A and B are shown apart, each in its own frame.
Chain A
Amino acid sequence: MKTRLVGSAASALVAILALGAGQASASSHREAPNITKMPKVDSTDFYMFRSYEPGRAAFVTMIANYQPLQLPSQGPNFYTMDPDAIYEIHIDNDGDAKEDLTFQFKFNNALRGGTGNTLNVGGKTLPIPLRHVGPVTQTDDPDLGEVEDFTVTLVTGDRRSGTRANVTNANGGGSTFRKPFDNAGKKTTPDYDAYANQFIYSVNIPGCATPGKVFVGQRAEAFAVNFQLFDLINFVPIDGTTFPGGIMQSRTNDDLVDKLNVTSIAVEVPIACLTGTGNGVIGAWQTASLPQARLLNPKANYATPALQGGAFTQVSRLSAPLVNEVVIGTPLKDTFNAAKPTGDGALADFVTNPTFPAIVDALFRAPVNATLGTNFASIAPSNFPRNDLVATFLTGIKTLNQQKTVTPSEMMRLNTAINPTPRDSQKTLGVAADDLAGYPNGRRPGDDTVDITLRVAMGRLCYPVPINGTPTDLGLCKPADAPIGNAALTDGAPISAAELQNAFPYLKSSLSISPRTVGTASIPHP
């Protein structure tokens, strides 16, 4: 019997592997081979910034997005979170690359009454095949047959052995929160904004005198990217207004914004509750972890499609965008996803000696030389080790966003002493455009991180950056190190804060395709 059981387990594991292999494909968010098998726990974008919503400057907002490439109105199951997983946002406030605080989200999905909504058909009462049976407009709408609740735990110290305390609802108490139903369309939810806003909770955070906010729900994508990047950069990646034949800025170049959705975990926390004993610069990153073992249940049902066991094991990790996509080598992408920042030393070569600029050189050196009449032997930066990239991704830039203790590690670093820039004044190119409150000093939803990353990778920081209008040498490298470091590199897919909300949770409500409207052809049909 035991042999039979173990044999079945092995078969199940083989089945898991086979399933995953069949789903793998290339795109921006699904950045590592193994995580493509587990979309529910795939981290897609991490934002961290001083809240620029008027009146909220004393707070930091962190948004951890998961589940990439969600088609609007994709029923009948839509995009629930994985109740077996834990989703976490980690904060290191003293620079040792170890989390001092962790916001841990755990979901519980349930069918109302154990079955979801039912109908009596010819004398037989049966569960319906849809998640909802009528309009969904309230937080506990009876027409929604499957609900997603979640808890938020603040862990102080190590994420697994630290002190745990529940984040609670500041209005009415309780430690269980609800995630809104995804946007099925206007017949289900006529005013999705109003519906979703009911799920923005004011919360008491342990140790904080001032309440913060929590929201989890489906949002419209805000990561602007041109997927032709992954077709050997099938365009001329220099702004067409500055370079003959270069790509022009257009929403039509974008493959995510105004087209697809994502699931956001957003939390807004008073600054004073985050900075601890550090110098005011906080480092943060998001992760998702699953129980180490999963055995598929051959008699699967809603409650137990599989059996879980073992310790929680990290399968996804993200802070700065595009690091795992275009910096880390393919054999180690899943290693990066499983690693803690303290282990990033093993991956440092990818930053000090990056391959992506060499790829750009191979693809574009000849056209650049031909167009400009130059004779560059290489258009990739030549300063090795790339201290400019080390500062951007691993240590923070001195006095801008470097922590009290410097432990080289890949984290999003935010200097909480720098004022938030009001939405209408924000510069989409962040620090490189005289906006110290933007990427890579944290990241705001309106920062065009693809363009910034392209430019920084090709040596933008070797050239002076403006501070209050004054070109300032960051002292990281020299212009001679980077032949095209001052070029207006771009993927032609723009984004700006003006396209997004000016209030928590900042990303816009999710898109739907129902009802179809003439003129909205940019939203794909599922």
Chain B
Amino acid sequence: MVRVTPTRKHLVVAASVLVHVGLLALLLRVSPHAPEVAEVGAMTVSLAPGEALASTSPQPSTPAKARSRAGAIEVAETPPPPPTDIEPQYVDVAEPDADAADDRDPVNDPVALSVSAAATNASGETCQMTAWLQQALQADPQVQAAMLRIPRPARSVANALMLWDGDWVEPPMQTSQSVAALRAALVAGIRAAPVACQFETIRGPELISLTEGPGATILAVGSGEWRWAQLLEAADPSITRSAGQRTEPTGSATPTRAVILWPR
């Protein structure tokens, strides 16, 4: 049996306590608030091509440290500068010409004819018939006057008027004269358009937006599959029926070209 003298025993105990206290102090000093999570291996995160905010100043929004190694993120000491630090630059945004719709002859006006010619050049594939008719009708004082006479209850809540869906449609009010004027103008506009465009196959309605005072009236034309030329066949304004009494569109019928006045 080995006897340990009291002095030696005390030294061993003291040394052991000192070592443990020292280790504990070292751990606490190095990481006083370290989260109790397992340390994981190094991980590199690459930046994919992203979107930096535009800047008119020389400094990009990406922190300098983030650019120090290509493709790798390092901890930035400060967040990137906010985008609003950039000096404002004022730009002019052109507004549409409010007077564009002037009094033009829809058939002989040079601007209107140029629109027509552009449509012709497109060989029917890019016919801008609705734009053309919008321009023609907008410039027609009789159309403007007729629209003013059509009361609000005769229009939809969004101010739309259905004119033709295979037959002429009479709005649900006594507005025959006014609607007849719209039809006449529409027919005249179609007649003035290139023939190829008159026979272009349309699917679904075309909406013609006409400025009327502070707002706009939407003239709706067509339903299902149809052609503008069909309106020329049905040009007699006496052929009307009430709104809501639908007849199937006659788009499959071959239009009779003899009734069409070709544009010069």
Contact B50 A313 (CB under 8 A): yes
B243 within 8 A of partner (CB): yes
Question: Roughly how many angstroms separate A275 CA and B222 CA in the complex, as a whole number?
Answer: 27
Contact B76 A106 (CB under 8 A): no
Q: Which residues of A contact B99 (CB under 8 A)?
A: none
Q: Please tell me the size bucket of the interface on B.
A: 35 or more
Picked from A299, A422, A472, the residue with its CB within 8 Å of the CB of B33 is A299
Given contacts A165-B88, A310-B66, A421-B158, contact A470 B209 (CB under 8 A): no
Over the window 202-217 of chain B, the binary record of Cβ atoms lying under 8 Å from chain A Cβ atoms (1 yes, 0 no) is 1111110100001110
B263 within 8 A of partner (CB): no
Contact A151 B84 (CB under 8 A): yes
B239 within 8 A of partner (CB): no
User: Of the 9-residue stretches A1-9, A35-43, A61-69, which lies at the interface with chain B?
Assistant: A1-9
Q: Could you list 6 examples of A-B contacts with CB < 8 Å?
A: A57-B214, A108-B82, A206-B93, A309-B74, A398-B203, A434-B158
A163 within 8 A of partner (CB): yes
Q: Which residues of B contact A299 (CB under 8 A)?
A: 33
Q: Which residues of A contact B33 (CB under 8 A)?
A: 298-299
B48 within 8 A of partner (CB): yes
A32 within 8 A of partner (CB): no
Q: Which residues of B contact A (CB under 8 A)?
A: 33-35, 37, 39-45, 47-48, 50-54, 56, 61-63, 65-66, 73-77, 79-80, 82-84, 86, 88-96, 130-131, 155-162, 165, 169, 171-172, 202-207, 209, 214-216, 218, 220, 222-225, 243-244, 246, 249
Within 8 A of B (CB), among A295-324: 295, 298-299, 304, 307-314
Instruction: Write the nearest CB–CB distance from B158 to chain A, whole angstroms.
Output: 4
Contact A292 B244 (CB under 8 A): no
Contact B42 A7 (CB under 8 A): yes
Contact A467 B205 (CB under 8 A): yes
Contact B90 A206 (CB under 8 A): yes
User: Of the 9-residue stretches A19-27, A152-160, A446-454, which lies at the interface with chain B?
Assistant: A152-160
Question: Roughly how many angstroms separate A160 CA and B223 CA in the complex, as a whole number?
Answer: 44
Contact A84 B79 (CB under 8 A): yes
Contact A418 B209 (CB under 8 A): yes
Question: Roughly how many angstroms separate A279 CA and B56 CA in the complex, as a whole number?
Answer: 31
Given contacts A207-B90, A295-B75, A400-B207, contact A470 B243 (CB under 8 A): yes
Question: Roughly how many angstroms separate A398 CA and B205 CA in the complex, as a whole number?
Answer: 8
Contact B157 A399 (CB under 8 A): no
Question: Roughly how many angstroms separate A421 CA and B244 CA in the complex, as a whole number?
Answer: 21
Instruction: Write the nearest CB–CB distance from A320 to chain B, whole angstroms.
Output: 19
Q: Total interface residues on A, using CB and 8 Å?
A: 90
Q: Which residues of B contact A153 (CB under 8 A)?
A: 83-84, 86
Question: Roughly how many angstroms separate A309 CA and B80 CA in the complex, as a whole number?
Answer: 7
Of the listed residues B93, B130, B206, the one surrounded by the most CB atoms of chain A closer than 10 A to its CB is B93
Q: Which residues of B contact A421 (CB under 8 A)?
A: 157-158
Question: Roughly how many angstroms separate A515 CA and B92 CA in the complex, as a whole number?
Answer: 50
Contact B223 A472 (CB under 8 A): yes
Contact A472 B205 (CB under 8 A): yes
Question: Roughly how many angstroms separate A304 CA and B75 CA in the complex, as a whole number?
Answer: 13
How many A-B pairs have beta carbons closer than 8 Å: the answer is 247
Q: Which residues of A contact B (CB under 8 A)?
A: 2-7, 9-11, 13-15, 57-58, 84, 86, 104, 106, 108, 151, 153, 155-156, 158-166, 175, 206-209, 272-273, 275-277, 279-280, 289, 291-293, 295, 298-299, 304, 307-314, 397-400, 415, 417-419, 421-422, 425-427, 434-438, 464, 466-476
Contact A464 B91 (CB under 8 A): no
Given contacts A275-B96, A292-B50, A468-B160, contact A476 B204 (CB under 8 A): yes
* Given contact pairs A165-B91, A467-B220, a sample of 12 additional A-B residue pairs in the complex whose CB atoms are under 8 Å apart: A7-B41, A58-B214, A151-B82, A207-B90, A272-B96, A291-B80, A293-B47, A418-B158, A421-B158, A426-B157, A435-B156, A474-B203
Instruction: Write the nearest CB–CB distance from A90 to chain B, whole angstroms.
Output: 13
Instruction: Write the nearest CB–CB distance from A165 to chain B, whole angstroms.
Output: 5
Question: Roughly how many angstroms separate A497 CA and B80 CA in the complex, as a whole number?
Answer: 42
Picked from B39, B89, B130, B156, the residue with its CB within 8 Å of the CB of A469 is B156
Of the listed residues A153, A292, A417, A470, the one surrounded by the most CB atoms of chain B closer than 10 A to its CB is A470
Contact A309 B88 (CB under 8 A): no
Question: Roughly how many angstroms separate A351 CA and B40 CA in the complex, as a whole number?
Answer: 44
Q: Which residues of A contact B90 (CB under 8 A)?
A: 165, 206-207
Q: Which residues of A contact B223 (CB under 8 A)?
A: 464, 470-473, 475
| B49 (CB) vs chain A CBs: closest residue | A311
Given contacts A434-B157, A435-B157, contact A207 B225 (CB under 8 A): no
Question: Roughly how many angstroms separate A402 CA and B224 CA in the complex, as a whole number?
Answer: 18
| B43 (CB) vs chain A CBs: closest residue | A10
Q: Which residues of B contact A158 (CB under 8 A)?
A: 54
Q: Which residues of B contact A209 (CB under 8 A)?
A: 95
Instruction: Write the nearest CB–CB distance from B33 to chain A, whole angstroms.
Output: 7
Please list the 9 inter-chain residue pairs (A to B) with the smallest Cβ-Cβ separation, ordered nearest first.
A311-B50, A475-B203, A207-B93, A475-B204, A473-B224, A417-B209, A151-B84, A436-B158, A10-B43
Contact B83 A436 (CB under 8 A): no
Contact A436 B218 (CB under 8 A): yes
Question: Roughly how many angstroms separate A276 CA and B91 CA in the complex, as a whole number?
Answer: 13
Given contacts A309-B66, A436-B218, contact A273 B95 (CB under 8 A): yes
Contact A86 B92 (CB under 8 A): no
Contact B50 A308 (CB under 8 A): no
Given contacts A310-B66, A417-B216, A472-B223, contact A162 B249 (CB under 8 A): no
Instruction: Write the nearest CB–CB distance from A335 to chain B, whole angstroms.
Output: 14
Instruction: Write the nearest CB–CB distance from B121 to chain A, whole angstroms.
Output: 17
Question: Roughly how many angstroms separate A153 CA and B53 CA in the complex, as a whole number?
Answer: 12
Given contacts A162-B54, A469-B172, contact A6 B43 (CB under 8 A): yes
Q: Which residues of A contact B65 (CB under 8 A)?
A: 309
